[in-house]
Amino acid sequence: MKKTFIFSALLILLLGGARPAGAQQEVNLLIKDGMPAIAFALPSFAASGPAQAMAAEIHDVLEADLKYSRIFQVLPKSYYAYIKTLDPRSIVYKDWESIGAAVLLTGEVSLAAGGDIVFERNFYDVKSQKTIIPGKRYQAKKTDLRYLAHKTADEILKAYSEKPLFTSKIAFVSNRDGNDELYMMDYDGANQTRLTFNKVTDYTPAWSPDAAHIAYMSYQQQTAGIYILDVYEGKRTAVSLRGGNFSPAWSPDGKKLAFSSTFEGNAEIYVADIEFGPTRVGRIRRLTFNPSIDTAPTWSPNGREIAFTSDRGGTPQIYIMDVDGSNVRRISMGASWNDSPAWSPTGDRIVYVARVDNLFDLYVYSIRSTSFQKLTETNARNESPTWSPDGRHIVFTSNMKGGTQLWSVDLDGANLRPLTAKGDNKLGDWSN
């Protein structure tokens, strides 16, 4: 799902460990669109001595995750004053039902002999008085408190047949150290980490479906080439070094990489076959054939179609084609400049950038209804959108507060918040 304000950039180029705590009956639940938020009771975790601060951190991060999900409504802390017994090992369900809780998560935090943190949690359905997911006991380093919280939140999502979200990563480009390099961070902006160390520009990162590789553009060989970075081993593989190459995008199965290239003279969409173990690049096929600029490909979740930007009609617009390059049709209407399409993981929407009255904002196209909805309206330049794994949130680049930063917004336009602050940051891509 590559999303960039790549059309302008391409013009510039052309011009220049857990273990079960016991067998318990599980309750499997499903979330449907339109359902009200589930009332979630999350009392403070039991802890003593130096473990109290760590328990509070795990609790606070988990609470933030649950609120961000848009699935749960965490009950106010004041409600817990009506609970007679807060002992996580002695649940009085009628008390929790009396304050309106639908589900309850309890936790205990302690320190192991070697100094590791030990976190035990249980998750219950209040009405049925049954366990939703089996209790677990985690032991981890103190530096992994946030990860424990995110992991717990993801397990809760999976219990509702939702895609894990909170252990995902966002790759992006930052010049905070003096040069455009690749970085990654947690979904909430924490743990920002530099991935590349070059004296050249690295650009347009795109996560592979297994979240272990990033395809990106770099001027390593004094040309805009496409490379694949093994995030955890640091190995790099070249995909295309001829001409100028931009905007890589992985197929849903991770076996193909679409990108835009000028190596045959004009900016067209190509697809390379990719094999891992070690990474190898196979056949490269050209998909588009016209004298205009074609760029910014993004795959449909079923791998059968590719949306992209083209100015074949005179101005940049959004088109969809079949994966073999046939059946090209335009979907964007109204604005004279549309760019940076990103196909939602749910397959029913495409978010893109449109310029209207010299303002760049995000719009969402519904494939089912062929209608459009404006997502941002901040009197700023909002660009390069990328979807969350669950399709409920979008990260994008904006200068709404001065400088260039990454922001997050929900699909309905709510919960707008910044994720970065140091240097200029842009071109985010959210992993699965």
The domain ranges of the chain are 6-16+169-430, 29-159
Segment holding 121, helix H or strand E: strand 117-125
- Ordered per-residue pLDDT tens for the chain, 432 residues: 444 444 554 544 443 433 333 334 344 444 445 456 999 999 999 999 999 999 999 999 999 999 999 999 999 999 999 998 778 778 999 999 999 999 999 999 999 998 999 999 999 999 999 999 999 999 999 999 999 999 999 999 999 999 999 999 999 999 999 999 999 999 999 999 999 999 899 999 999 999 999 999 999 988 999 999 999 999 999 999 999 999 999 999 999 999 999 999 999 999 999 987 666 888 999 999 999 999 999 999 999 999 999 999 999 999 999 999 999 999 998 899 999 999 999 999 999 999 998 899 999 999 999 999 999 998 899 999 999 999 999 999 999 998 999 999 999 999 999 999 999 999 999 999
Say if CB 46 and CB 80 are below 8 A apart: no
How far is Cα 3 from Cα 250, in angstroms, rounded to an integer?
12
One-letter amino acid at 136 equals K
Please report the pLDDT score of residue 35 as a whole number: 52
CA angle 214, 215, 218 (to 5 degrees): 115
Which pTM value belongs to this model? 0.90
Segment holding 152, helix H or strand E: helix 145-159
Q: Provide the pairing of β-strand 103-111 with 38-41.
A: parallel
How far is Cα 227 from Cα 215, in angstroms, rounded to an integer?
6
Please report the pLDDT score of residue 222 as a whole number: 85
Please report the pLDDT score of residue 281 as a whole number: 84
- The tokens of 288 are what? 């588009």
Segment holding 6, helix H or strand E: helix 6-15
Say if CB 324 and CB 366 are below 8 A apart: no
Note the CATH architecture for domain 6-16+169-430: 6 Propeller (2.120)
Question: What is the per-residue burial (b if ≥16 Cβ within 10 Å, else e) of 149-177?
Answer: bbbbbbbbbebbebbbbbbbbbbbbbebe
Sequence-distant (6+) residues with CB within 8 A of 114 are none
Domain covering 29-159 in this structure, CATH number: 3.40.50.10070
Q: Is 118 exposed, middle or buried (0-12, 13-18, 19+ CB in 10 A)?
A: middle
Q: What is the CA radius of gyration of the chain?
A: 23
Say if CB 227 and CB 220 are below 8 A apart: yes
How far is Cα 259 from Cα 385, in angstroms, rounded to an integer?
17
Q: Provide the pairing of β-strand 236-240 with 225-230.
A: antiparallel
Q: Is the peptide bond before 278 cis (omega within 30 degrees of 0)?
A: yes
Say if CB 357 and CB 347 are below 8 A apart: no
